[in-house]
Chains A and B, each alone.
Chain A
């Protein structure tokens, strides 16, 4: 059964920027794109619960994460969202295995052998078993990304949020990792949002694309729709970018 969808309709004000989103993610990942300062990262932080919107609601299937009208505002710890930030946020003082164990240990009620078992599973799934004892500071970019994914997914989140997953890669590695990520995310069956500024990333990773400009979604749809009928100058330029890449 496919995972329940993520629905967010919020307004807020961050710094001087007024934000208003209405987005939905169910089948296939949603790529959120837009110029710098458009509010892409703020959107993720609002979903996570780090930033509080002024009004609206965030729902994940039948779980309500945020809805002031109903008095619901789950803290970050309770939303069960997976987050892979741009720098991966791996704990530098822990090994690869310990990073994943940490996530599992945070879940109440998991016995130590279950923690061990699920850690092994997570490592195997992303082909990290050989790197288990390695210090995270000694990993390549691609390896770090896989550890971050393994860690985030080991606790079986209800949705997955990725911030600029390919920003740290050079051109060659980027193409390779993009293909891997597109394949992996496609198979996940988890509501997934990928924030990116890169057209090729958006096209490969997002089943649908939402374009954010100055805090608002100016267009949302498939790549083909954006290409055919760009709703703004930025969208048109953005789509054109891909041809050049």
Chain B
């Protein structure tokens, strides 16, 4: 190999890397510009005025409270579901997986209407679930329900993926020792999938924090009871764009702080190896 050949190869590799970087950088720029626009377009005075806006603190408190509850419910119910889906073959399991992903593609406002039709006063369950005339709509619980509906799919998707990545041999040997399904799940599955589950939980929580359309439709918009921060921002928009800008920055700041905090708490470990080395692929078999 001649040295000019080597030089050409090196240059070609450099150009390819630059191209990849440029293409990726384009998307990064696109995502960053509106955020920069929001921050740059809001003066410090406007921001302080926004912080003092009467809508802010009730809305922030409500957002944090409801998203926390939503997250706990999502993880508590979603983890066993994901484990089951990850290990069940057959068309019912695949259908269930598709069902779980549906809320992602439904426009949030439509999701809100759908929830009204299911859980509303005249909805599917009205006769059985509620005392006469009452329904869950317009309550803080409705906010939590709307958040779970739109955000749980993100968690389940990530969790199923994380559980599937566990080397099957690890689960097989655990069973050969006589481990019950519960023990396999708790002592092998959960610890090994934990980073993936955590990532899914963060994603799900972020989606719940930003949830607007379904909340507005299903839970309504009442300060202190159902007006989450995104709803407060939109309501502020009616009156005063700059107040809405300031509130948006508050929401972003809270989200960033929580995201960074969670990552720090979990440790930014790259996905740990789920087995000590690559396994021979086990042939899929059985009914």
Contacts and interface: CB of A to CB of B under 8 A. Distances in A.
> Which size bracket describes the interface of A in this complex?
35 or more
Given A42-B283, A51-B286, A106-B178, A83 B172 contact: yes
B222 interface: no
B279 A93 contact: no
Contact of A77 (B180, B272, B277, B279): B180
A82 interface: yes
A87 B286 contact: no
Contacts of B117: none
B81 to A, nearest CB: 23
A92 B172 contact: no
B13 interface: no
Contacts of B123: none
A85 B278 CA distance: 11
Interface string B8-50: 0000000000000000000000000000000000000000000
Given A15-B283, A85-B279, A87-B169, A92 B274 contact: yes
A87 B279 CA distance: 5
A90 B280 contact: no
Nearest to B284: A15
A20 interface: no
B280 A163 contact: yes
Contacts of A139: 276
Contact of A89 (B172, B179, B180, B285): B172
Interface in A27-67: 41-42, 45, 48, 50-52
Contacts of A152: 173, 176
Given A85-B172, A106-B177, 10 more contacts: A15-B283, A42-B285, A50-B172, A76-B172, A81-B176, A86-B279, A87-B278, A87-B279, A106-B174, A107-B177
Interface of B: 167, 169-170, 172-180, 183, 187-188, 191-192, 272-280, 282-287
